């Protein structure tokens, strides 16, 4: 069927009931034109207009093409075909939905199982972790009992020559007297070993922290009461190792005879008083103790113990001024008067 505005041409194939023969010649009858296999009309037959002049009446079977435009008529066959296609599509979507629903339910079940297993594993992990911590504490207690004990690291390596660098238990003032035994880091390699670490410091630390365990891995200084007990056992001088492994050293005679400040002058390593511009743990000067051009010193300084912000660039350093007659016994920094040009961190040892 074919439309044109409010008028349309109806083309149909008709098989007339009761016809015995059809003319091979086209006949024209009024507005209806009969052809061998069709009839064409331009009459207003009641479709698409408000006042049709004639009703549309078809005898036999009318065959129409599928509609091409929105205002084309459609046949029942076409509508049935569309409905059938929609039913097929709906059935396929329903089957896919059922499949996806089944897959979702399966995955959800697996997820719930995995979640349950995870909770169980976390519980077991926490239990094992707690047991491990308990075991480590017991091992630590046994190690403390089995670790060689001396007044300092020199005592330990003297008693046990095969002792290697690491942590050891020391009791500087003896058992059941003064401070309780505590762990220290011992360097058992340099010059026969026996060096006890009492401070680990670097430049630009505003407030020096007191540590329970002084190690090469954490910046802190020894507690005051422990330091006071340890320094009383020193017989082999002081050693300083920077982050590059360079070592400077002062022999025992100079440690004891420093005229401005020695290791017995200040009792609290975290609260050194200011001398000149620095927080000095050891200081010798040929003339006056005014930190002039003839002094040598060991700086362990922070913001409180230094002036004019010197702690920011040489809070952890060693110095021997150009005109000082008292020099470090081991000095790895060439002709420079200060180690600050070469390093930012220092480990502080006594022996």
Contact, 302 vs 314, CB < 8 A?
Answer: no
Q: Contact 311/305 with Cβ under 8 angstroms?
A: yes
Please tell me which residue, 79 or 241, carries the higher pLDDT value: 241
Start-to-end CA distance of the chain, whole Å, equals 114
Q: Which helix (H) or strand (E) holds 154?
A: helix 153-159
- Average pLDDT for residues 282-288, to the nearest whole number? 91
Confidence of residue 81 (pLDDT cuts 50, 70, 90): confident
pLDDT at residue 302 in the model = 92
Cα–Cα distance between 328 and 244 in angstroms, integer? 18
Q: What pLDDT is recorded for position 63? A: 52
Q: What is the pLDDT of residue 277?
A: 75
Whether the Cβ atoms of residue 232 and residue 214 lie closer than 8 Å to each other: no
Confidence of residue 211 (pLDDT cuts 50, 70, 90): very high
- The per-residue pLDDT for range 82-126, each reduced to its tens digit, is 888 899 899 999 999 999 999 999 999 999 999 999 999 999 999
Q: Is the pLDDT of residue 267 over 60?
A: yes
In this model, does residue 28 exceed pLDDT 50? no
> At residue 268, does pLDDT exceed 80?
yes
Predicted confidence (pLDDT) per residue in 67-77, tens digit: 666 666 666 77
**20 pLDDT more than 50:** no
* CA dihedral of 110, 111, 114, 118, whole degrees rounded to 10: -170
Per cent of the chain over pLDDT 70 is: 77
Cβ proximity of 213 and 144 under 8 Å:
no
- The structure tokens listed for 284 are 């010798």
pLDDT reported for residue 55? 54
Residue 57 in this model has a pLDDT that exceeds 60: no
Q: Is 10's pLDDT higher than 60?
A: no
pTM of the model: 0.61
Q: Cα(242)–Cα(340) distance, rounded to whole angstroms? A: 10
**What is the average per-residue pLDDT within 204-215?**
95
The pLDDT tens digits for 121-171 are 999 999 999 999 998 888 777 666 556 689 999 999 999 999 999 999 999
pLDDT given for residue 80 in this prediction: 82
What is the predicted pLDDT for the residue at 293? 82
Residue 42: how many other CB atoms lie within 10 Å:
13
pLDDT value at position 307? 76
CA torsion angle 77 80 86 92 (round to 10):
-100
Domain chopping of the chain, boundaries: 1-73, 75-146, 150-350
């Amino acid at each position: 069927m074919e439309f044109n505005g409010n008028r349309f041409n109806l083309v149909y194939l008709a098989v007339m009931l009761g016809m015995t023969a059809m003319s091979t010649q086209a006949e024209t009858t009024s507005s209806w034109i009969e052809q061998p296999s069709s009839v064409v009309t331009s009459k207003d037959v009641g479709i698409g207009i408000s006042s049709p002049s004639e009703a549309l009446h078809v005898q036999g079977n009318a065959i129409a093409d599928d509609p091409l435009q929105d205002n084309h008529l459609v046949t029942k066959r076409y509508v049935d075909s569309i409905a059938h296609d929609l039913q097929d599509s709906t059935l396929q979507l329903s089957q896919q939905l059922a499949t996806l629903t089944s897959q979702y339910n399966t995955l959800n079940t697996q997820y719930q199982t995995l979640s349950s297993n995870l909770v169980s594993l976390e519980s077991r992990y926490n239990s094992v972790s707690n047991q491990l911590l308990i075991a480590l504490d017991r091992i630590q207690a046994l190690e403390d009992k089995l670790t060689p004990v001396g007044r300092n690291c020199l005592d330990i390596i003297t008693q046990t020559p095969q002792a290697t660098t690491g942590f050891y238990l020391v009791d500087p003032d003896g058992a059941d007297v003064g401070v309780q035994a505590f762990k220290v880091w011992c360097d058992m390699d340099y010059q026969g070993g026996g060096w006890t670490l009492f401070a680990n410091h670097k430049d630009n630390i505003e407030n020096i922290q007191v540590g329970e365990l002084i190690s090469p891995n954490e910046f802190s200084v020894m507690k005051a009461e422990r330091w006071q007990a340890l320094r009383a056992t020193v017989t082999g001088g002081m050693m300083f190792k920077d982050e590059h492994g360079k070592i400077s050293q002062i022999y025992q005679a100079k440690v004891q005879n420093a005229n401005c400040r020695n290791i017995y002058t200040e009792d609290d390593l975290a609260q050194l008083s200011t001398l000149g511009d620095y927080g000095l743990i050891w200081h010798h000067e040929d003339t006056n103790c005014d930190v002039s051009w003839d002094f040598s010193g060991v700086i362990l300084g922070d913001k409180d113990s230094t002036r004019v912000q010197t702690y920011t660039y040489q809070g952890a350093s060693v110095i021997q001024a150009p005109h000082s007659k008292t020099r470090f016994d081991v000095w790895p920094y060439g002709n420079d008067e200060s180690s600050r040009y070469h390093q930012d961190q220092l480990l502080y040892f006594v022996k």
